[in-house]
Amino acid sequence: MNLDAMYYPYTSKRFATFAKNGMVATSQNLAAQAGLSILQKGGNAIDAAIATAACLTVVEPTSNGIGGDNFALIWTGGKLHGMNSSGFAPGLASIEALQERGITEMPSEGFLSVTVPGAPAGWAALAKKFGRLPLIETLAPAIRYAEEGFPVSPIVAKYWRNEIAYYRSKDWGEVLEPFFDTFTNSEGKAPVAGEYWRCPAQGATLRLIAETDGEAFYRGELAEKIDAFSRKHNAFIRKEDLAAFATEWVDPISVNYRGYDVWEIPPNGQGLVALMALNTLNGMDIAAKDTAAAYHQQIEALKLAFSDGKAYISDPRFMQAKVADLLSEEFAAGRRAQFNPAEAILPQPGTLPSGGTVYLAAADGEGNMISMIQSNYRKFGSGIVVPGTGISLQNRGAGFTMDETHPNALAPGKKPYHTIIPGFLTKDGEAVGPFGVMGGFMQPQGHLQVVMNTIDWHLNPQAALDAPRWMWTEGRTVKVEPEFPKHIAEALARMGHDIVPSVDENGFGRGQIIWRDPKTGVLMGGTDRRCDSQIACY
């Protein structure tokens, strides 16, 4: 049969999913099933998340990889914990080093955009601190899919094809050969939907990571291979940088939004943007759902928050503003004063008071829950793949600036402004559950829209994710999804917004939600229609 896996002429509907003993929601069905299998073997939600995250590097390499970063918010023992496993700039990386090579803007891809990967260390740290099972067991599904193969899913195949075409257009020479050797088939093409794909080199790498609790990646055989490839191409990263990396445990930050505490990871992540926007909206009477006034309020609050985030967020050791000040009522009031209910504004950073990604959510029957996100940044990341390993290195260095006066300026050992952010919701000290929307600078915008859909307009998790999304890009420009109501788009345009309709849903993020009923323990989940997603549960 000649069946097109990307042709859907009819509207379909998903319903919210319910379960009691465990639930895993993510952007690719095999990865969700991998997490469920770990739950059914006696692992907890954290073990399931590790299994799912590792599996996603295999079955969805277009969005994340072994050479990426991850963050997590973990609810266990009645407390929320934060994990930041994002890497820093190599010791040889500096503004001066780039300028000496004639580079005046941060490279957005290629070897010079590579920062130290944190994902394998994040898996190991989660397993050690909260898990029940060893990495060799939680990474087993990912290893099996890499070594034995799996059928490629439709959305992943679409992005894979686009990325192969993109890198075919690059004139980088032999540094790109390992990318094509790893991620194209025997015909030199991307796999199509349903094609059986395997990557034994990736399986061998995951097995080494599992058997050594990540040590092989940071201080062993894999570190040596990364170092050798970097030296060969006169790049910055060295084995000493890898050996110096450690996952950080951080205190999550929050704002109370209409009786619910909304939690994010603190900087260098951009979750602060979502919180600042919600804090600004806290002091407003929110207009009715699906009105131009309601969308205008959201867009304007987000624009103000983003202008502040881009001005102030960086590695926390270098920030020139305190998170507490940026989340203060005084600061929020100042931002509300900039709001014009009838007209779109051009935002500027506020005055301080004195003084490409995959997302997954998992929960178990004991009350443990985790919100976890993992990314290469741009699709396959930097485009650099370490020969014979399946390791695609991220391009997080693109998050820095070369403006020496900016708190986010590139410096050795410094972490960049980071786009990936997990979210979590609590009420009166009890867990409501994990949520997240992946997608670069769309992420805080997705968090804002999902939270408001849930709290202000009482949508169930599936409906909250199904709702048509908007995305502010710059100035007064706002992109809207194909299903965004035309009459609202026209009304927003009359208010001064530059509305850009999109022909597809690319770029608007892909989210997952799991809420827990505190009385019954029943889990209620939603998963995004914009990806090859699934909720696996029992």
Closest to 481 measured CA to CA, from 523, 515, 442, 519: 442
E-only strand ranges, 346-403: 358-364, 369-375, 385-386, 391-392
Closest by Cα among 43, 45, 225, 59 to 144: 59
Q: How far apart are CA 146 and CA 55, in angstroms?
A: 9
Contact status, residue 394 vs residue 68, Cβ threshold 8 Å: yes
**Token output for 363:** 């929960």
CA distance 278 to 27: 26
Angle at 22 between CA 16 and CA 27, to 5 degrees: 55
- Strand 369-375 vs strand 150-151: parallel, antiparallel, or unpaired? unpaired
User: What distances in angstroms separate CA 52 from CA 3, 373, 463, one per listed residue?
Assistant: 29, 11, 24
- DSSP string covering 265-328: PPTTBTHHHHHHHHHHHHTS-PPPTTSHHHHHHHHHHHHHHHHHHHHH-S-TTT-SS-HHHHTS
Residues 6+ apart with CB under 8 A from 246: 121
Among left, alpha and beta (phi > 0; psi -120 to 50; other), residue 416 is beta
Which one of 205, 357, 419, 426 is the catalytic residue? 357
Alpha-carbon distance of 236 to 53, in angstroms, equals 27
CB atoms within 10 A of CB 429: 9
Please tell me whether residue 457 adopts helix, strand or coil conformation: coil
CA pair distance 395, 245, nearest whole angstrom = 17
Residue 63's φ and ψ, nearest 5 degrees, are -130, -20
Extract the tokens encoding 11.
């509207």
* Residue 90 half-sphere exposure toward CB, CA atoms < 13 A: 25
528's tokens = 């995004």
First to last CA, the chain: 34
Q: Which two tokens stand for residue 213?
A: 């609790």
Interaxial angle between packed helices 271-282 and 443-455, expressed in degrees from 0 to 180 and rounded to the nearest 10: 40
Please tell me the distance from the alpha carbon of residue 467 to that of residue 462, in angstroms, as a whole number: 9
357 labelled catalytic: yes
Question: Hey, what's the torsion of the CAs at 187, 193, 198, 203, to 10 degrees?
Answer: 130
Residues designated catalytic: 357
